[in-house]
Amino acid sequence: MTNAQSVSGEGALEFLIPTGARSSGMGQAVVASAIGSEALWWNPALIARAPREVALHATKVLTTDTDASGAILIPVQRVGTFALGIRYLNEGTLPAVDSSQQQTGTLTTVVSILGATFASPVTDRLALGMTYKLLRYWFNCTGVCQQADIRPQTIALDLGAQYLVAKDSSLALGFALSNAGPKLQVHDVSQADVLPVRADLGISAAPKLDQLPKGIRVRAAADLVTRVSGGYAPGFRMGAELSWLEQYQARGGYVINGPFGSGATFGLGVSTGKLQIDFARLLANNLSASDSPTYLSLRYRF
């Protein structure tokens, strides 16, 4: 039995690496509640009512030298929201070896992911969205490398929906089907790997609690994630956000069977009006504190 994020027999695993500091701080439980450009990689439907925004996101992970992404959202009145996103991952440099396991050079693996998204409100409460993604590998070689002339790539689709159970969006449901597409072929057809297709179902609640001081708002969320094919134990994500005057945020959560294992998350955010700055960390149980993923996001509304 494998968990929801098992990598056995799957390719294009970069699709599974989380991004976005707000999302990560809330335990990645954002299929129903991701905001702005972060929603591009979680549930495309969530940008349907988003304002114009440009954003930069960066992640520091032990297994990746560089993980950075950027996005721009452009809403069109009475039509929907269009968005473009790009993600760059430098997975580091490793020795290149020949068939006798003798080193012949060094190999640096670079991955790019391009995403084009459209989302629109279908009704006052239902929004649908879709993201078309193109992933490509680049192998930069010093010396002699078998992979030097290989440029594998694949495409994938993300489909998403959000339903506002309460018209004021205090209670929302989200669904996303991500990474559906053809197999990734690196060497030949017989060795092609299936994409890591996932189905996510989430709920988000922002109750109005009279006992809280004025200006304080609370949001809680929970997600269930499963592999679409093959045996699995599902993954769970849960989190909460406490905000004051819509300017300062504190977040916490917990991930079970995530891409980096299981563990607690925490995050902080501050808004200066148009600029939102977010920071988060995942304290994975199988990683030391110094190796745990760290996230930073800058989002600017214009």
For 142-195, the pLDDT digits (tens) are 887 766 667 889 999 999 999 999 888 899 999 999 999 999 977 655 568 899
Task: Note the pLDDT of residue 204.
Answer: 97
Domain ranges for the chain, please list them.
13-301
Task: Note the pLDDT of residue 2.
Answer: 41
Task: Output the CA angle 111-56-81, nearest 5 degrees.
Answer: 95
Q: What is the DSSP letter of 137?
A: E
Buried b (16+ CB within 10 A) or exposed e, 182-193: eebbeeeeeeeb
**Rounded mean pLDDT, 39-66:** 92
**Rounded mean pLDDT, 45-53:** 96
Give the model's confidence band at 3: pLDDT under 50 very low, under 70 low, under 90 confident, else very high. very low
Task: Note the pLDDT of residue 169.
Answer: 82
Would the CA dihedral through 154, 34, 255, 62 be positive or negative? positive
**Rounded mean pLDDT, 247-259:** 95
Tokens of 68: 């950075």
pLDDT over 70, % of the chain: 93
Task: Note the pLDDT of residue 291.
Answer: 80
Give the model's confidence band at 1: pLDDT under 50 very low, under 70 low, under 90 confident, else very high. very low
7 has a pLDDT exceeding 60? no
**Rounded mean pLDDT, 235-257:** 96
Task: Note the pLDDT of residue 31.
Answer: 97
Task: Note the pLDDT of residue 118.
Answer: 98
- pLDDT single digits (tens) 92-138: 888 887 777 888 888 888 999 999 999 999 999 999 999 999 999 98
Task: Note the pLDDT of residue 232.
Answer: 66
Residue with the bigger pLDDT between 264 and 107: it is 264
Q: Which CATH code fits 13-301?
A: 2.40.160.60
Strands, E assignment, 20-150 = 53-61, 64-76, 80-97, 103-121, 126-143
Task: Note the pLDDT of residue 64.
Answer: 78
- Work out the mean pLDDT of the chain and round it to a whole number: 90
Residue with the bigger pLDDT between 246 and 147: it is 246
In order of 79, 111, 288, the CA distances from 67 in angstroms are 33, 9, 20
